[in-house]
Structure 1
Amino acid sequence: MSAPAQLQKGLKQRHLTMIAIGGVIGAGLFVGSGVVINQTGPAAFLSYLVTGVLIILVMRMLGEMATANPSTGSFSDYSRRALGGWAGFSVAWLYWYFWVIVVGFEAVAGAEILRYWIDVPLWLMSLVLMVLMTATNLVSVGSYGEFEYWFAGIKVFAIIVFLVLGTLFVVGLWPDKDFDVSLMTSQGGFVPNGVGAIFSSIVVVVFSMVGAEIATIAAAESSDPERAIARATQSVILRVATFFVGSMILLVLIVPWDDNALGSSPYVAAFSEMGIPYADHIMNAVVLTAVLSCLNSGLYTASRMIFVLAARKEAPAVLVSTNRRGVPVWAILFSTVIGFLSVIAAYVSPDTVFLFLLNSSGAVILFVYLLIAISQLVLRRRTPDEQLVVRMWLFPALTIVAIAGILAILVQMALSSDTRSQLLLSLLSWAVVVDLYLVTRARGGSVSPDELSEQPASTGGQR
């Protein structure tokens, strides 16, 4: 292989648009939102609104840095430039770890959904899904983009259908139904479990919104990274407002917040309340596409992060090689192995090993977001005005607000007995990563911020 290996610019604008739109819609919205509503009450949409604002701010910061310097390394390279090698190493490895665990988790979740229709052992169906998604990523980046385009399209279409039908139902433009918004206050009030529940639920909500940042990584494999990143980061506002906040408002107006049916599948409960036949089958199919989309994107994202780590001399050199189609085959297979091991752990030891893996990656994404925000605070002051295609609003005030918000969520996790173990194990994961950096650096590996600035701006390129 010639060095440096280059990724194929095989993603089209329509792929990136749908990756950006669908990236924040996962199984967490279709299933996990019911738990949030049960815990918070009708005010649950405020939890999504506050979290959405935080995600929007992080995406805006990413947009500013990424348009100034598009890179497959994305936020790991920005952290390296802003804070030093340890930060870039930490962001890349933590983000990789988060997504490979997600890949295993989503494979198990997808298998559980398929067992609704097919009586097959869970481990076998999980492995089948892993093999299918691995094959999709191995063919070409274009096949990943095409798969994600259609599966994200199904998710988006399902949410839009729900928003339209739900609105008609609530405003009274539905058979035998009058205008009725009484459920917002009639079942014990707007905040039946207290205002604190709005903020404690944010810990759950933030993980259902992870994924918007994938578009900034994928953009490096497109022909016009700056335009793609700018569009992705600017459109996240509308997506959060409509898909998350809008659908949460409709859910609490259609189904009582304390209805147990919400916990298992809120959208099935809402469609059933509206009298739509086969709601369970329809939404199970939609959730399956969301799970497969997340599995597909998780594998793509993890492979690109480990590819960048190898290019920075922080992972085995073989992982930076690409085939003649510009696909980082070994990076994909290496990331897949962890996913396969997670599936095996879910079968052999679901309550110990698999639970440990999930908990040890639970707060990792918040650490990554925190380092992104701090990096933007530093790099903005070093970036010439002419390079700022996308600018962070009200800098530095909103950047500081975002940092404070992320720290507040981490404190909330520490105070809650339900999430404390996730935080502690995730901190342990970070400590292990920092130790690995020190070992890597001592052995002559890793790229310093100065060396990074001497390399090409992007690891992308046409072979």
Structure 2
Amino acid sequence: MAEQTVDDVVRTPPDDEEEGYARGLGGRQIQMIAIGGAIGTGLFLGAGTAISKAGPSLILAYAIAGVVIFVIMRALGELLTYRPVSGSFSEYAREFLGPFAGYVTGWTYWLFWVVTGMAETTAAAVYVKYWAPGIPQWLSALCFLLVLYAANLISVKLFGEIEFWFSMVKVTAILGMILIGIGVLTLGFSKAGDTASVTHLWQDGGFFPKGVGSTLMTLQIVMFAYLGVELVGVTAGESEDPEKTLPRAINTLPLRIVLFYIGSLVVILSLVPWTEFRPGVSPFVAAFGKIGIPAAAGIINFVVLTAALSSCNSGMYSTGRMLRDLAMRGQAPRRLTGLNRRQTPAAAITASALLMGAGVLLNAVAPGKAFEYITAVATVCGVWTWAIILVCQIRYRTAWQRGDLPEPGFKAPAGLWSSWAALGFLGVVVVLIAFDADSRISLYVFPVWAVLLVIGYQVLRRTRPQAVRGAAEEYLPVEGPR
């Protein structure tokens, strides 16, 4: 690919050839990346805190949030079949909302995965202490960071394979838990056989033991558990057949939500009364312990370690692509546009990994509340990204209904009303975050981030006006789907 100047790059939207990525992610890997994005530490660990706050009604919270997530993903699918690019969120924001929206969305999604990577690498180091308490926490975190960094530099196919097997471990653990739980409930074996019953879902204080308000207050935790499902959109530029693999991955999302979230929670809360779960303790560990499975804590610790490394691996991948996309637009240092000979954005991945490493040091110094704060900041960043997806889909659908843009090959269901309803739901989540003492910190951090973004944008307007030019002249109506 011939070298381009920033002026050349910002004048035209990046297509497959301009991006320069290798399409090395097959259908099997895309499916597992989509599944892995829907299963993380938010479910394995966060559910314990949420259960203690809401009881069995947490199942309803996950179900409602799951419907909203599906609406968001179908909206994203509509945009992806219109124009599949690796910097999808910021590209769509730039096209339909203007250069400033694209700039903010790109940097905010980058921040989301950087802070998530900070938390997950340190969390992984904490889990290692279960088996090797003598190993310094910072050393384990550094080793994990270096290994995942190297894997992401080698090739996108290796990233896909690592994520495939990470996801396989998580899926196997949840399916095993569900099958064993069903066996206990129906056949009555194990130590929990005499007390396990689906009546725990409504007899221990009712389905809403702490009231509807307490259930609503768990939505921040619930939405954090779903963060990462949109990662499939970042893979668009490196999928072998995005028109087929991406819609298939998105359409299987309801099944994944019902099985992995709703199914596992129903089984766990039937095996063990909700009153026995505690914040900070994995409900899976508690349930396995109640059943009496040998080495239950060790098994779940391994699964949670895998979940943390999977999230960090995804973060390394997505931050590199998003940062390079910003650099190609002239909105980040030009040197970050570089690809290595394996067609991975080595410079952008390196810059992101260095910042994640700084987060490891930060968490080593102050590990107490750092995870809760980082979780809250990540949730707000994720909510922003989801809202942008919905708004862009609304603008796109309005445009193609007018005949200005091509009709998508993968339409979101229920028209625009579902997108507006999902936007309203995300607004409610932000309001609820303001009422939670631990989560409220994110509403203090985000304005500071916004100020930094505005300052950076004003600098760009003066030094690189071509990097913040309007999108209208770049994206012209075409005759058919791209």
Task: Please tell me the TM-score bracket, short chain as reference.
Answer: over 0.9
Deviation at 1:386, TM superposition (A): 5.6
Question: Once the 2 structures are TM-superposed, how far is the Cα of residue 174 of structure 1 from its aligned partner?
Answer: 3.3
Q: Give the aligned partner of residue 325 of structure 1.
A: 342
AA matched with 1:298: G
User: Structure 1 residue 406 and structure 2 residue 420: aligned?
Assistant: no
User: For the Cα contact (< 8 Å) 1:27–1:290, is it kept in 2?
Assistant: yes
Residue of structure 1 aligned with 2:103, choices 83, 86, 89: 89
Q: How far apart are 1:438 and its partner, in Å?
A: 2.7
Q: CA deviation at 1:355?
A: 7.3
Q: CA deviation at 1:353?
A: 8.0
C-alpha distance in 2 between matches for 1:401 and 1:350 = 38
2:442 pairs with 1:442: no
| Equivalent residue number for residue 14 of structure 2 | none
| Within-5 A mapping of 1:264-343 | 264-343=281-360
Relative distance call for 1:324 and 1:447 in structure 2 (3 A) is: farther
CA offsets 1:90-125 (integer angstroms, 9 cap, x no match):
111000001011111100000000010012111111
Q: Report the 3-state secondary structure (helix = DSSP H, G, I; strand = E; otherwise coil) of the residue aligned with 2:210.
A: coil
- Pick closer, same or farther for the CA change 1:183–1:359 going to 2, 3 Å: closer
Give the letter aligned to residue 314 of structure 1.
Q
Is the Cα contact below 8 Å between 1:38 and 1:263 reproduced in 2?
no
Q: Residue type of the partner of 2:315?
A: G
Q: Do 2:220 and 2:379's aligned partners in 1 also have CA atoms closer than 8 Å? A: no
CA-CA distance at 1:129 after TM superposition: 0.8
Residue of structure 2 equivalent to 1:2? 3
- Name the residue aligned to 1:147: 162
Counterpart Cα distance in 1 of 2:341 and 2:390: 37
Identity %: 34
CA distance in 1, matches of 2:158, 2:351: 19
Once the two structures are superposed, what CA deviation does each residue of 1:144-179 show, in whole Å capped at 9, x if it has no partner?
001011111111111111111112222335358367
Distance 2:382 2:376 in 1: 12
Question: Residue 116 of structure 1 aligns with which residue?
Answer: 130
Instruction: Please show how residues 382-461 of structure 1 align to structure 2 within 5 Å.
Output: 382-383=399-400, 387-444=407-464, 445-450=467-472, 452-453=474-475
Q: 1:351 to 1:247 in 2, by over 3 A?
A: closer
Deviation at 1:202, TM superposition (A): 0.6
Checking the alignment, whether the CA contact within 8 Å between 2:326 and 2:332 is kept in structure 1 is yes
| Separation in structure 2 between the aligned mates of residue 354 and residue 157 of structure 1, nearest angstrom | 27
TM-aligned CA deviation for residue 348 of structure 1: 2.9
Answer yes or no: is the 8 Å Cα contact 2:200–2:273 preserved in 1.
yes
Please name the residue that 2:183 is paired with: 168
The residue identity in structure 2 corresponding to 1:389 is G
Q: In 1, distance between residues paired with 2:207 and 2:435?
A: 25
Deviations 1:431-459 (A, max 9, x none): 32233223212322335313542799xxx
Question: Contact 1:172/1:180 (CA < 8 Å) preserved in 2?
Answer: no
In 1: Cα distance, 2:477 partner to 2:355 partner: 30
2:31 is the counterpart of 1:17 = yes
TM-score normalised per structure 1:
0.93
Q: 1:167 to 1:352 in 2, by over 3 A?
A: closer
Question: Aligned AA for 1:39?
Answer: K
Find the counterpart in structure 2 of residue 130 from structure 1: 145
CA contact (8 A) 1:262 1:269 kept: no
Seen in structure 2, the aligned counterparts of structure 1 residues 428 and 171 have a Cα distance that, compared at 3 Å, is: farther
Which residue of the partner structure matches residue 459 of structure 1? none
Corresponding residue for residue 51 of structure 2: 37
The one-letter amino acid of 2:420's match is I
Amino acid of the structure 2 residue aligned with 1:248: L
User: 2-side partners of 1:286 and 1:213: how far apart?
Assistant: 22
- Asked whether the 8 Å contact 2:94–2:103 carries over to 1, the reply is yes
> How far, CA to CA, are the matches of 1:43 and 1:151 in structure 2?
30
Q: Distance in 2 between matches of 1:103 and 1:263?
A: 20
2:85 is the alignment partner of 1:68: no
Take 2:408 and 2:110, find their aligned partners in 1: how far apart are those partners?
A: 28
Q: Residue in 2 aligned with 1:216?
A: 233
Aligned partners of 2:97 and 2:392 also within 8 Å:
yes
Give yes or no for contact 2:372–2:439 (8 Å, CA) kept in 1. no
Contact between 2:26 and 2:241, CA under 8 Å: does it hold in 1? no
- Over 3 Å counting, the alpha-carbon distance change for 1:382 and 1:450 in structure 2 is same
Shift of 1:225: 1.2
Distance (whole Å) between structure 1 residues aligned to residue 351 and residue 258 of structure 2: 37
Structure 1, residues 49-85: CA drift from partner, whole Å, max 9, x if none?
1111111111110011111110111121111111111
CA contact (8 A) 1:16 1:215 kept: yes
Classify 1:60/1:26 alpha carbon distance in 2 versus 1 (closer, same or farther; 3 Å).
Answer: same
Which stretch of the first structure deviates more once superposed, 163-172 or 391-400?
Answer: 163-172
CA distance in 2, matches of 1:45, 1:237: 15
Query: Given the superposition, is the C-alpha separation of residues 88 and 421 from structure 1 closer, same or farther in structure 2, using an over 3 Å criterion?
Result: same
Distance 1:332 1:454 in 2: 32
TM-score, length-normalised on structure 2? 0.90
Q: 1:161 to 1:317 in 2, by over 3 A?
A: same
- C-alpha distance in 1 between matches for 2:325 and 2:189: 53
Aligned letter for 1:169? V
State the shift of 1:180 in Å: 2.2
Contact in 2 for aligned 1:115/1:122 (Cα 8 Å) = yes
Structure 1: where are the runs of 5+ without partners?
457-463
- CA distance in 1: counterparts of 2:131 and 2:197, whole angstroms: 36
Select the residue among 38, 41, 66 that pairs with 1:27.
41
1:58 aligned residue (60, 67, 72): 72
State the alpha-carbon separation in 2 of the partners of residues 351 and 314 from structure 1: 35
Deviation at 1:424, TM superposition (A): 2.4
Unaligned runs of 5+ in 2: 5-17
Contact map agreement 1:106 1:295 (CA 8 A) in 2: yes
Comparing 178-187 with 402-411, which one deviates more in the overlay?
Answer: 178-187
* Letter of the 1:328 counterpart: P
The answer to whether the 8 Å contact 2:145/2:357 transfers is yes
What CA deviation, in whole Å up to 9, does each residue of 1:381-405 have, x standing for no partner? Answer: 1135863111121111101100100
Which residue does 1:258 correspond to in 2? 275
Q: CA deviation at 1:351?
A: 5.7
Higher deviation after alignment, 161-170 or 32-41: 161-170
